[in-house]
Structure 1
Amino acid sequence: MKNLSWFNKVVFCINVIVAIITLVGYFLPFLAPKLFPVLSVFTLFLPGLLIVNLIFVFYWGIQFKKQVWLAIVILLLGITFINKFYKFSGKATAGEGGDFTLMSYNVRLFNLFKWIESDSIPENIKEFIDLHDPDVLCLQEFSKNTSLKFNQYPYRYIVSHGNKIKTGQAIFSKYRIIDKGEIRLPNNSNNNVVFADILVKNDTVRVYSIHLQSFSIKPDIHEMMDEKSSKRNLDRMSKAFAEQQLQSELVRSHMNDANHPKIICGDMNNSAYSYVYRNVKGDLKDAFIEAGHGFGKTFDFDYFPMRIDYVFVDNRIEVKEFKTYSEFYNSDHFPLVTRLKVSE
C-alpha cells in the first residue's frame, strides 16, 4: 500500500470490499432463502461481481502490481461459479442411434397478450419447433388458447390451470408416455411442475418440466434502479425466493423417489448461484456446463446475460450437445435444445 498512489489506494480499498462481498456470495447457495430472503436476492448479482474482479485483475496486471493476487485468488476460489456463467468451449459429438433430442421453452402463452408487437409469434414458435423437430418437447407457460397443432407428437401430457385464461405446461413426445403426473405447488401458486415417464428406445426416462415461482417484475434495468420500484421489487423477489425454496424441496423429494434416469428442465426463475438451483440440481449434471458455449443467456434482460432456464440430467445420461437460441426472439425466454443419450 505504501508504494501506491492515492488513487490506487482508493481502488484497492474498493477491490477489498468487492472481494469480501464476492466471498459472501459464494456461500449464499448454501443458505436457505427463508432465513435470509434479502441476501438470497444478492445471488442474482454474483456474475457481475465476478466480472468486476476480472477487471481488477487486468487493472493491477497491466501495472505489474502485487495487488493483482487478491482478485486472482477470489476468481480461483470461484472457478465453479465462473463455469456456470460462461463456457469457453462447447461440445458436439457425432450422432448415434441411441441419441434423442429434447427442447425446453417458456413460450409465454404464445404472446397471447401481445407483449411483442407481432401477430406472427405463435407461427414463428411453431416453425422453430418444426425446424428442430425434438423428440421430446417441454413447454412452460403453455396456452390452450392457441390454435397450433403439434401433430408430429402422438404422445402428450398437458396440464392447465386458471379460469378465463388457462396456462400451464405441456410435455410432447415421439416416444410412448407410460406414466405421468403433476406436482401441485402450495399457496395457490400459478406455477406448477409436471412429469412424464417416457420409453426412450429401450429405457424409461422420467422427464420433469418445471416452472417455479415468478418474480412478477418487469425485466427493465431502468425501472429496477428507480428508488420506489427497487424497494418494491426487492420485496417481491425476497418473497419469491422463499416460495421457490419450498417448491424446490417438493421437487427434490419427488425426484428422490424415482428410480428411472431423470431429466429436469424448464424455467426456475433463479440464477445458477442460488439455493434453489443447488437444491433442484442435486447430483444431476447441468447440460449447459456439460456441453454449452458462451453465456447461455435464457431470459431477455437488459444489459445482462441472465440464465434462469435449465436442463439437468441424470449421471446415467450423456449430454452430447447443448445450445441456447438467444437470437430467437419470440418470448421473454429463449429455447434450449440438447442432444442426449442414455448410457448403457
Structure 2
Amino acid sequence: MKVFRLILFVLHLGILFLLLGTLLNAYVPPKVFPWFNLLSLGFPLLMICYIILTIFWVFSWKKRAFVFIFAGLAFINPVKRWVNYSDKKENPGIKVVSFNTRAGGRGSTEIGPYLKSLDADVLLLQEDAGIVYKFDGYQKANPGGGLTILTKHKIIKQQIIDPQDENLRIPGLQVDIEINGKIYRFIDVYLNPFRFEKDMVKLNGNTDTNEQKIKDVVKRLIPTFKKHQEQVGLIHKVIENSPYPVILAGDFNSVPNSYEYYHLSDGLEDAFLTAGRGSATSFHDYKFPIRIDYVFSSKSVKAISYEVDRSVSISDHYPVIVKFSAENK
C-alpha cells in the first residue's frame, strides 16, 4: 500500500507541475517554447485527475491533502474559463453574437434565418466565405478574409488587420460602430486554423498508427502556435491604439489558458467570467470539451449575460451570444 501511495504522490506532483506549466503561457511565447501552449489543450483532463487525487488524499487523512488543496487554488480562474457560475443580471443592453458559420454551414439554408431571428445589435461572423446575408436595417462590413460584421447601427470606420505576410491569414476585422451615441471598436477575430480532419485525432487499437497520428498532430500544432503569436501581436496593437471601448470576439482556435488567451485578453474582460453560467464549450465537432470561441471587452463595457446556444447545430461551432450593459460610463 505504501508503494501504491508513493506512485500516486509522484503522479500527483507531476500533474501539478504540468498544470503550472499552462500558467506560463502568460509569459512564454510559442516561438520560445511552444510546449506550454500544447499543455493547455489537456488542461481539463489534467485538472480532473488533479481533483480526483486530491480527494483521495483527503479521504486517506493525509496531511499532503492540504498542500494539494492550497496549490489547487492557483487554478480557480483557469477552471472558471471553462466552467463558471455567475449571477443573472436583468438590464436592457447591447446584444452581440459571435459565430463561426463554417463557410455558411457549407450550404446550410438555416443560417440566414437563424441569424436574423437573433435580432442582435452586432453579428461577428467567421469563416463566412463571402456568404451574403440580406437583413433589412443592417449594415455590413465584409472586406474579405472570411470575416463579416453586420450591425443595426452606424458604421464609422472599417479596416482589416493586415499581416502583410502571405504565410499568415488575415487575423481580424476592425469596425468602429456608433451605438446609442457612443462609439465602440468591434474586432472580429479568426486565427489560423489547424485543419484537422476527425480521422487525424481518432485513435484506434494500432499502437504504431496512433503514435504516427500523435506525431502528425504535433507537427501541425507547433507551427500554427507560432503563427498565432504573430497574429496576436497585430491584434493587440489595434486594441492598445483604440480611442474607443473595445469588444473583441471570434474563433481563436485556442483553448483557455493558452498563450493566445492570455495575450488577447490582456487589459480586457472575458465576458464568460463576468456573466457566464455552466460550460463555455463552443466547438462540438469532436467528442471533447473545447472552448475556442470568445467574447472579450474593455473594462468599461460590462457583460450582463452570456450564452452558448446549443439548440442549433448548423455549424461545427455553437453561436456565442452576449449582452452588454447599455449604460454609458
TM-score normalised over the length of structure 1? 0.88
Alignment: residue pair count: 322
Q: Which residue in 1 is equivalent to 2:47?
A: 50
Using the TM superposition, name which of 213-222 and 24-33 deviates more: 213-222
Runs of 4+ in 1 over 3 A off after TM superposition: none
1:123 counterpart SS class: coil
Q: Which residue in 1 is equivalent to 2:184?
A: 205
Q: Which residue in 1 is equivalent to 2:286?
A: 302
Q: Which residue in 2 is equivalent to 1:125?
A: 111
* Residues 1:59 and 2:56 aligned together: yes
Residues 153 and 172, structure 1, Cα contact 8 Å, conserved in 2: no
Distance (Å, rounded) in 2 between the aligned partners of 1:186 and 1:91: 43
Match of residue 238, structure 1, among 193, 198, 222: 222
* Residues 1:92 and 2:76 aligned together: no
Residues 21 and 39, structure 2, Cα contact 8 Å, conserved in 1: no
The sequence identity of aligned pairs, in percent, is 24
From the superposition, tell whether residues 20 and 213 of structure 1 become closer, same or farther in structure 2 (CA, over 3 Å): same
Distance (Å, rounded) in 1 between the aligned partners of 2:175 and 2:12: 49
Instruction: In structure 2, give the amino acid aligned to 1:93.
Output: K
Residues 56 and 71, structure 1, Cα contact 8 Å, conserved in 2: no
Q: Which residue in 1 is equivalent to 2:306?
A: 322
1:326 counterpart SS class: coil
Q: Provide, for residues 135-169 of structure 1, a one-character-per-residue CA deviation record: whole Å limited to 9, x for no partner.
A: 1101101123x4x53323431101225xxxxxx11
Offset, 1:61: 2.0
Using the TM superposition, name which of 183-192 and 35-44 deviates more: 183-192
From the superposition, tell whether residues 228 and 191 of structure 1 become closer, same or farther in structure 2 (CA, over 3 Å): farther
Distance (Å, rounded) in 1 between the aligned partners of 2:89 and 2:282: 23
Distance (Å, rounded) in 2 between the aligned partners of 1:301 and 1:289: 24
From the superposition, tell whether residues 158 and 139 of structure 1 become closer, same or farther in structure 2 (CA, over 3 Å): same
* Residues 1:72 and 2:69 aligned together: yes
Distance (Å, rounded) in 1 between the aligned partners of 2:193 and 2:123: 22
* Residues 1:139 and 2:117 aligned together: no
From the superposition, tell whether residues 15 and 154 of structure 1 become closer, same or farther in structure 2 (CA, over 3 Å): closer
Q: Provide, for residues 283-305 of structure 1, a one-character-per-residue CA deviation record: whole Å limited to 9, x for no partner.
A: 11000111111220011253421
Q: Which residue in 2 is equivalent to 1:154?
A: 138
Offset, 1:30: 1.4
2:278 counterpart SS class: coil
1:179 counterpart SS class: strand
Match of residue 155, structure 2, among 166, 172, 177: 177
Residues 31 and 229, structure 2, Cα contact 8 Å, conserved in 1: yes
Residues 268 and 309, structure 1, Cα contact 8 Å, conserved in 2: yes
Q: Which residue in 1 is equivalent to 2:325?
A: 341
Instruction: In structure 2, give the amino acid aligned to 1:94.
Output: E
Instruction: In structure 1, give the amino acid aligned to 2:182.
Output: D
Residues 91 and 321, structure 1, Cα contact 8 Å, conserved in 2: no
Q: Provide, for residues 41-66 of structure 1, a one-character-per-residue CA deviation record: whole Å limited to 9, x for no partner.
A: 12211222111111112222233222
Distance (Å, rounded) in 1 between the aligned partners of 2:133 and 2:234: 32
Match of residue 26, structure 2, among 24, 29, 33: 29
Using the TM superposition, name which of 169-178 and 152-161 deviates more: 152-161
Instruction: In structure 1, give the amino acid aligned to 2:159.
Output: G
Residues 160 and 174, structure 2, Cα contact 8 Å, conserved in 1: yes
Distance (Å, rounded) in 2 between the aligned partners of 1:60 and 1:124: 51
Distance (Å, rounded) in 1 between the aligned partners of 2:310 and 2:259: 25
2:322 counterpart SS class: strand
Alignment gaps of 5+ in structure 2: none
Instruction: In structure 2, give the amino acid aligned to 1:160.
Output: G
Match of residue 108, structure 1, among 102, 105, 122: 102
Residues 116 and 135, structure 2, Cα contact 8 Å, conserved in 1: no
Offset, 1:334: 1.1
Instruction: In structure 2, give the amino acid aligned to 1:214.
Output: P
Distance (Å, rounded) in 2 between the aligned partners of 1:66 and 1:152: 65
TM-score normalised over the length of structure 2? 0.91
Residues 161 and 170, structure 2, Cα contact 8 Å, conserved in 1: no
Alignment gaps of 5+ in structure 1: 113-120, 162-167
Q: Which residue in 2 is equivalent to 1:274?
A: 258
Q: Which residue in 1 is equivalent to 2:10?
A: 13
Using the TM superposition, name which of 203-212 and 36-45 deviates more: 36-45
Q: Which residue in 2 is equivalent to 1:165?
A: none
Q: Which residue in 1 is equivalent to 2:172?
A: 193
